[in-house]
Structure 1
Amino acid sequence: MPKSTPLHIGGQFWFNISEGGLLGKERIALLEQIAERGSITQAAKSLKISYKAAWDAVDTMNNIAPAPVVETATGGRGGGGTRLTEEGRQLITVYHAIAAEYARFLDGINATLGDSAAALALLQRLAMRTSARNQLIGKVIAVTMRTVDAEVVLEIQGGMQISVGVTNESVELLRLYPNRQVWALIKAVAVSIHRAPNPELPSTINQLCGVVQRIICGEESTEVVIALPSGVTIRGLMTTAQLNQQHICDGDAACACFPASAVIIGVDN
């Protein structure tokens, strides 16, 4: 039997804020480049990442943090100025102060860690990522139980509310009681974009309205990112023909609509 390879712990240090992963060394580097260059475009070039990847990281940080870490003027590719907020500067300072202690912590673990295939398998499961493009932090406001399913109302950042449809079993399994902190995951393909709210939509359809922050056009499909009043962003897909028909542009008011059944609730404990 071949000799097993000792398990060595050498992961990255991340800040968790509002029960969500927020900052690792790659995102710290992005924040530092934004602070130095005053431009997401130039920060992305300096780090050799795509403009879209940089924007996605900024969106994620702003959506998860208690307050936005980056402020940017609405504009197209390369448009508008960008700067760190006080929240962003504090995160960088604290990150560097703790990172050294984390490295010493890993050194101590590796000094006493033996062979463990089971531990490796566990770590691989914990490293699972989600394909949902919209990941929001919220808390349970109300739960209405029905015969086999339930309606759960969540309050996300900025005080906006969304409705989620789940089974009664999920309510019990996830312990979805009022004030419970949760994740709300919504795939972008389930989100449609419209110029204005529609008062005739049923209560099972959520509507979150804000301002178009940017548009990523493809040959047939287009991704539209809407910045909500709180600074949190939500993205959806529409055909290029629909985009042209509705004349949606950067800076326009728009709404993201998605059914309650399209929202997945996640918890981490």
Structure 2
Amino acid sequence: MFSPEILLTLNIQQQLFTDPRRIALLKAIEQTGSLSQAAKQIGVSYKTAWDAINEINKLAPNPFLITAIGGKNGGGTKLSPYAVRFIQLYDLLTQLQQNAFNILSDDKVPLDDILKATARLSLQTSARNQLYGTVKQIHTSDVAGFITVLLSDNQTELTAYITQPSIGRLKLSTDKTVLLLIKAPLIEWVNTKENANENLLSVTVEKITTDEKWSEIAFSLSSGIVLYASKLAKEVEQAALTVGKQTKLCINPQHIIVATLV
């Protein structure tokens, strides 16, 4: 199994700022409240520990250590709030690096698109349908409007409702990659003329999974994209849906959540 040891090292002005050993020292200081005890805990000399902390403090924009000298409760050393937050960020970056190698063997994860890769690295949502695409048109007023997104199959277009503030906050523009999230219960099949103003998709029923109350239906577009709908089992029975049957789905533009990297 390919499992490299990933060691995150940060340099500032071509000088070592932090690495795993220095992070371990900082964590030991926070745990023991003493630089000398922290040095012993990680197996380095007091001078080595002192020099490392001194270099960190020189390079950091804010002090990393808060030192109390003598006093009623005795002296001691602890991390500053800035240092605590920095360590949290360091641990997050280390985890992201590990996750990056974890997706290396998954051929379904494209590594040429930062949004798709990042979503698989760190984004988990309850939305059953997660569709990637690029923005092709933006039609909005001062308050809200719609964007048209061409999905990754380069055939299917979906229209999503979005407010003007959200367009600005997401920095949306034509050809920007976006992720569309749609919860399965919000996908309907066409049964009335009221669906005419919504996204209409021709699909084939691929699979139906049913328990006593609920059913999940997998629908495929001709391009191969799969959409999932979740309905009461009796609704599926009433609609006479069976594997292989062709039908049309409708998706309300207001039921589509737009996500991207800014």
Q: Which residue of structure 2 aligns with residue 249 of structure 1?
A: 242
Q: Which residue of structure 1 aligns with residue 180 of structure 2?
A: 184
Shift of the 219–117 alpha-carbon distance from structure 1 to 2, 3 Å rule, reads farther
Q: Secondary structure at the match of 2:125?
A: coil
For structure 2, the residue ranges without an aligned partner over 5 or more in a row are 10-18, 28-82, 97-120
TM-score normalised to structure 2 length: 0.56
Q: Secondary structure at the match of 1:130?
A: coil
Structure 2 distance, partners of 1:250, 1:227, is 11
Q: Does 1:137 align with 2:132?
A: yes
Paired residue type of 2:163: T
Aligned-pair identity in percent equals: 22
Q: Secondary structure at the match of 2:236?
A: helix
Paired residue type of 1:156: L
**Contact preservation (8 Å) 2:170, 2:261:** no
Q: Does 1:152 align with 2:147?
A: yes
Paired residue type of 2:203: G
Structure 1 distance, partners of 2:241, 2:255, is 24
**Quick one: which of 227, 232, 239 aligns to 1:239?**
232
Q: Which residue of structure 2 aligns with residue 220 of structure 1?
A: 213
**Contact preservation (8 Å) 1:221, 1:238:** yes
Q: Which residue of structure 2 aligns with residue 40 of structure 1?
A: none
For structure 1, the residue ranges without an aligned partner over 5 or more in a row are 1-95
**Contact preservation (8 Å) 2:134, 2:176:** yes
Post-superposition Cα deviations, 1:48-98, rounded to whole Å, max 9, x if no partner, equal: xxxxxxxxxxxxxxxxxxxxxxxxxxxxxxxxxxxxxxxxxxxxxxxx8xx
Q: Secondary structure at the match of 2:7?
A: helix
**Contact preservation (8 Å) 2:195, 2:250:** no
**Contact preservation (8 Å) 1:217, 1:223:** yes
Structure 2 distance, partners of 1:121, 1:250, is 49
Q: Secondary structure at the match of 1:201?
A: helix
Q: Which residue of structure 2 aligns with residue 107 of structure 1?
A: 7
Q: Which residue of structure 1 aligns with residue 158 of structure 2?
A: 162
Paired residue type of 2:255: A
Q: Deviation of residue 268 (structure 1)?
A: 2.3
Larger radius of gyration: 2
Paired residue type of 1:171: I
Structure 1 segment 13-32 matched on structure 2, within 5 A: none
Instruction: Calculate the aligned-residue CA RMSD, in Å.
Output: 2.7
Higher relative contact order (CA 8 A, sep 6+): 1
Q: Which moved more, 1:120-129 or 1:227-236?
A: 120-129
Q: Which residue of structure 1 aligns with residue 222 of structure 2?
A: 229
Q: Deviation of residue 209 (structure 1)?
A: 2.0
Structure 2 distance, partners of 1:131, 1:120, is 29
Post-superposition Cα deviations, 1:161-216, rounded to whole Å, max 9, x if no partner, equal: 1110011011111111110001001111111234x8x665242x212222111111
